[in-house]
Structure formats: C-alpha cells, structure tokens
Chain A
C-alpha cells in the first residue's frame, strides 16, 4: 500500500483551472520533488496537501484514511514555508516549541533541545529570528516543522530565499536529515538543480498536469516531451520527419536516430543536449551523423564554453558545449568551418503534436 495517494485532484480559481487531474503516490521514506515553472500548479497542490486549500474534485488517501476534507491540524503534517514564517518575537527555542501542545514542560524542553541539536543550532536556542542568518532561520523552521513528529514533511520552495552558497549547503543538509529520520517528504521547487540533486523522484508539472515523473537521472536522460526536454537542462530541438527504420529526415538530410513509437512520416522533434554534441576540426573517419557547420559565436561560461554553430545541411543553429581546461582557452581551430557530430545514441525523438497539425494543414 502507498503511504500517500493523490487521486485525480482538480482545482480551479474562478474560471481558470489550476490543477487538471493529478494522480500521484508517495511511498514511506521517499523524497518527492514537485518541479515546474511558476503557475504550473505545484504550490496549489502542496497547499491542498497541507489542508490550507480544498480541492474541487478528487481524493487524498493517507495510510488508508480519506483525508481530503480534514482540516490542516488533524492531518499532522509538518510544513516548511517559503518565507520560513518564524515568529519574530519568540526565540529559536520558543519557535521550535510552538507546535508542541499538551506535553509536560520537561518533555517539551527535551524535545526542543533534541531538535535544535539535530539541526546543529543548540548554541542559538535563545536568539531571536532577527539575530539569525538566513540559513539558520531556515534550519529553525525545519526544526519547528519536525518537532511534533509529523508523518509527512511538506516543503514549499524551502531554499529560494537564500544565497547560492548557503543554498547548496542546505540542500545536502535537508537531504541528510530526511534520510536520517526516514520521513516521507514532498518538496515544491522551480529550481531543477535543487530537484535533481535532492529528490528520489522528480514530478515535473506543467499547466496543472503531471508532465513526467521518474528518478532524476531518468528525467534528464529520457525527457518524454518537448516541455520536459526544455525545462530540465538545455536541449537543441530539430524538427524532423520519421523515416523507415531508425532514420529521420531533417529537411532533405538523413539522420540516424531511434524512432521507436513513431510511424514513418510522423512529424517529430529530435532533441540533443549541448554536452552530447561533438565538434571536430577535420574529417576524423567515416562517422554517421557528421555535418559541415560554421561557428557563429562562442561564449565563455567558466568551466566550459558554449559554441553556437550553424549547420547548412540541417538548416538550423545548434549549441555545443566545449569543456575547458586549466588555461580556459578554446583551441584555435574552433572558429570558421568545423565538423559537427550528432551521436545517434544521444538523439532523443520527441512527439511534436503541433508540428504534425501544421503538416496536416499544409497537406490539405
């Protein structure tokens, strides 16, 4: 049995649908991340799980109970809010103790100390939130949410208010705590790096629907749609038509590429990540998918450079990533004419419904 089952949840504000039938399960101890651009419905879904908002349709089952109509308090979930929402007039310890009701004072003290030790802030127990750094405030918020021993932890963009360095630090800290306590957690984020680095499973959302879900590696290596390809990492997309066998046609040009799931003549998009594109100075050997190209521009990004080339055969620009060494210099040949290799294994065929419709219209 799943620990949490979300069953066809739908919600709309006035006339605008925000969630259009979400179905999702979470297992005990699992860390699930809801990833998507703003307005995709991820925060609304989290608020419905918290009990702050009510779904219009669908059910939420938690350990066999239908909790859809339960008030927030009865659910017993821990929630960490984007703004931390620490009470400014209470000390760190008092904040952590806020949700510990109906326990003897000694037990509360003990639990607060335990939680502060867990997040490594025992020394700051008597400080007020204004006297703590952003990262420390976030840890206190986490300790406060965990203190009543919730059965599920909900995190709403927990790191978005912190600077880049603290954010990376806290990512692994939250992950460590979550593993240590074995608590099932759901985190909302719009930051793909955060989702990929922290979660066991990433749920990619788009326009109120789940676009794709799977392990971080799966999501990156096998995007299932054009949106997934574009949102997680960068990807070059080439409009193409499926041929017979593992071949597609980009314009007049033949490209080797898997076409499982497509019939000959189907319109599709061929996706390729910049780091998979290979550039050669001169003819290396007889390689498949090798095209002449011209360097249009290069931009220096620190550990690598992004090289944009124009390929006449494919009639499009393609971004390639060039790893840099200690001297941060591009080789001299990487300007003017180069050879572009698109390794067949790295090409990802993606459905392109809007393209097929355009083709149909053209045919008619």
Chain B
C-alpha cells in the first residue's frame, strides 16, 4: 500500500505547530538586521534586488490566488444584489429567511455529533496501532487511510446502496431513513476517520516511557495509568482532532448533498444560493458564516498545538508497548471490525459500479462507465480532471517549495517574508466553498485584468493549488528548516548567489518532500468538489463534479462508477509518484547512506 508518503504529509498537519514565523528568527543567535538601516546598505547589491523581486512576485501570486478572492468574498457579503453597499442588510435578510435557523442548528449539531463519534472511534483505533502489540498494526493503519484517496461522495453513495430506499441493509435502520441525519453522520465519520486517526496516532506515538515506568513503580495498574497518564497526555491531540473533524464536516457539502435528503446545512445553503438562485451576495453571506467558525476553529487549533508542543518534554524516552494478551486480542478484534466496515462501505460503491443492476442483477458489466450518455460531461470530465490534477501537482509543488524557501532562508526582507507566510497559511482557515465563491467574485469582476482566466482550466488549477496550499507550504517549510541555516552564510562568504545554492543543495536535499507534496496536491485535486463546483465551465467539467451531477439526475450507478474511477486514479497517481520518488532517490540520494 502506498500509504506512507500520504501519512507523512498529513501527519505534518497533525504534528506541526503552525507558527507564524519559523523558529530561526528568534533574536538569540540571529542574523536579522535590528534597524531599518540594513536594506539601505544592501540595496546596492544586485542579489538582494533579485531576491526582493522573487519575493514580491511570489507574494503577488499568492495574493491573487488566496487573499484577494477571500477579500472579495468579505466585501460582497456587505453588498446588496445590485452592487450597492448595504451594510449588514444581507446578513439580516439571510437570517430572516425561513429555515435558516434550521441550517445553522443542523450544521452545528451534526458536525458535533460526527466529530465526537469519529474521534472516539479513531482514538481506540489509534491506541491499538500505536500502544498495543497486536499484529498487523501497519496494515490496519494503511487500510484506515484509504478513504483519503476517494471523494467524500463515494462514502455517501455507498451508504445509499446499503441503507437507501433499495438498500441491502435497510432493515437495520428499523424503519428510519438513511437520507438525513443518519446518512450525514455515518458518511462524515467514515470520510473524516483518517484525518482524526493521523492526528491521534502522532499524539499517542509520542508517549514518554519514563512516566509509565514511574506509574508502574508507584503501583498503578494498566487502567489507572491509562486514565492518569495516557488520557491527560493526549488531551490536546483529542481536542485538535475534534476541531479539525468538526470543521471538515461543517464545511463539506458532498455528503449532505448526496445523502442529506431534506436536512439543510450551511454548506448546502451556499450551493443553493449560488447555483440555484444565482444570488452571489447571499451566497457570500452564508460563506462568511462558514468562514468565521472555520477561522475561529483554526485559531483554536493553533493555540492547542502550541500548548501541546510546550507540554512535550524534550528528553522524553520513546515508549515501547508491552504485550498484554487479552487487551491485544480485544484491540485486534476492534480494529478488524472498523477496518472491515470501512472496506465494506467503500467496496459497495466500487462493486455496485461494476455490476449491471444493483442489487437485482449482479452480473459484471461496464455499462455504468459509459459516461458519455450521462449528465456531467462524460469521459471528457475525467480527462479534464486528470489534466487539472497533474497541473496542480506540478504547479503546487513548485510554488510551495519557492514560498517555503522564501519564508525560511533569506536574511533580508523580513516583514515581506512574514506577510508571505501569513498569506500562505491562510487557506487552512478558508473552507473550499468559500474560496470557490471568492474566486467567482474576484475573477469575474469587471475590470479585473485576470478575468481572461475565468472559465478556463487554469482557474481550476489555480484554485486547487490555493485550496491545499497551507499544508504543502508547511511541509516544505519543515523540510527546509532542517537544513543548516549556515548554508546561506557559506554561500554568502564565497560569493555564490542564492539561486545557485537553491539549485545545487536545497532542491536536491528536499526532493522527497517536494514529491510528497506533489502527491498530496494530485490526490486532493482529483477528489475535491467544494472549491471547484462554482468554477467549472461547459468545457472544463470535472470528474468529481460529474459524480454530483449524475447523482443529482438520479443516475446513481454511473455516479458510483465515476467516484470509483477517481479513487482508482488517485491511488494510481500516488503509486506513480511513490515510484518516481523511489527512482529519483536511487539516482540522486546516495549521500543519505552512511
């Protein structure tokens, strides 16, 4: 399974304190200029000017791709439909609309319940993987991460097959319906499970053996040391995981769209306002309502991560799990159950797409893959998605490497570099739907010189790069920060320009991180719906959007087929990149061997 690269990139989200400025900038041993005088001395130096140009160029790209669309969204939420300033009138109008209280309430409670369930399930699973001696721990970890490769829609479609109107297991619901809270919660828990799992694995893997030894010498049993050592030590991890999953569920619109039935949530409201009623300003209002809690949660998460980092002892001794037969067996049973359930649900959609008429005619058939007869753009959409994801992977890996380099390494231009870092980490707090809507408002505005991008594949690429930029930027930043800060001084003292150092040392050394990031962009660009759903044109329909369109038209089997295809492509892309990475490492990374 190719889960490792993906694990580590997402683990990067799980374990990184997203600090505003890299540690190296502290004044203790600093090379930072103290006064404003320095740029003046250096201004005569051409290398400094080149660096500044690169920095400003990068900042310009990120502003156009991230900050300005979000700004446009903010601005538009205060405009009325005819474009005049309306203050908070749109907000008031929205609040007065029937059913709004319902949407808000649904979003909150469904996200909270999903998040709590998901974190509880994932915590035990993570405990089994990291703290017990059960066999096959690595396999269980890999299986649980598989959903990352599929769009969230796939889970929802499977649940329809299992529990929907003609569902196989409909009777399990005791007369209840799958369309609504049950479907939303089940679907959300399933697709967010790997996100919670990675954060909790990171937390549990960093236990301090000394505490357990101390507890044991003081006569504490296994249960007591779990309650008094393990649980308190993972409290920040649990809170972070809960917050992350809460935001993922609250801002996801694929699952409620497919299986939500009449249950309205904020995310589906935006879609209705923008696509159904073409009311962009009202859409902006709802997007702001989504963005504010997401931003708050993001701030809370950063605060928690800082607390978590501070609470970890520097001299912690790594923990080696001790075998305990009954417990190991129980955890094995639990993990098998969860993994099987997950595989069964995902497998249902895959299987259903490959038979002629689920569940009545189970003969194998590829007729569901004849997309050209369906809504959503047919096979052309798939081609578009593939091109878009490949371009996103290349452009995203490149841009995030340069942005991380500019934040981490140069010694001048301090203020500009801080701004760059702030803009690069902003997408983490912006839900995809809000970003997509911001793109319409910004790029489609009259007089925008970038208007020519609108409706092209390029804008989809740009939007996907922006949507997933933060994690990529931070991963590359971590890789670059592991390089000695003195490299720049060596090059400086020898008169070697920075681009030469970048090309000869930084890029080769960070190549594994660059490849990981490319894989991350590829998979996410393949599977995402939220940001791009507002941006495609008739020529640039995407596979993930086609799933939505076919499901909307009632063609659920072809929808399942397309989702399966996306899943397979994402997996293949991951494998290809892993193979490419291995090949390049073999050719260029001899120096890692001792």
Contact = CB atoms under 8 A, between A and B. Distances in A.
State yes or no: do A and B come from one complex: yes
Interface residues of B, number: 35
Contact of B493 (A12, A13, A73, A131): A73
A9 to B, nearest CB: 14
Contact of A79 (B27, B34, B45, B489): B489
A187 to B, nearest CB: 15
A85 B34 contact: no
A72 B45 CA distance: 11
Contact of A130 (B33, B35, B486, B594): B594
Interface string B462-484: 00000000000000000000001
Interface stretch (A47-55, A195-203, A207-215, A342-350): A47-55
A73 B489 contact: no
A55 to B, nearest CB: 10
Nearest to A100: B494
A77 interface: yes
A50 B491 CA distance: 12
A81 B485 CA distance: 11
Nearest to B29: A43
A99 B494 contact: yes
B505 A72 contact: no
B495 A99 contact: yes
A56 B41 contact: no
A101 B496 contact: yes
A276 B325 CA distance: 69
A89 B487 contact: no
B470 to A, nearest CB: 28
B415 interface: no
Interface in A29-84: 43, 47, 50-54, 56, 69, 71-79, 81-83
Interface in B547-594: 588-594
B519 to A, nearest CB: 22
The DSSP consensus for interface residues of chain B is helix
Contacts of B35: 56
A174 B213 CA distance: 48
Contact of A72 (B486, B493, B592): B493
Nearest to A43: B29
B587 to A, nearest CB: 12
Contacts of A81: 486, 489-490
A51 B30 contact: no
B31 interface: yes
A53 B489 contact: no
A193 B265 CA distance: 72
A90 interface: yes
B484 A101 contact: no
B489 A74 contact: no
Interface string A93-110: 000001101000000000
A144 B493 CA distance: 11
B180 to A, nearest CB: 56
A89 B591 contact: yes
A50 B495 contact: no
Nearest to B505: A87
A88 B494 contact: no
Interface of B: 27, 29-31, 33-35, 37-38, 41-42, 45, 411, 484, 486-487, 489-496, 504-505, 508-509, 588-594
The 3 closest A-B pairs by CB, nearest first: A73-B495, A99-B494, A85-B486
Given A98-B494, A99-B496, A101-B496, 8 more contacts: A13-B27, A51-B492, A51-B493, A52-B492, A54-B33, A89-B509, A130-B592, A145-B493
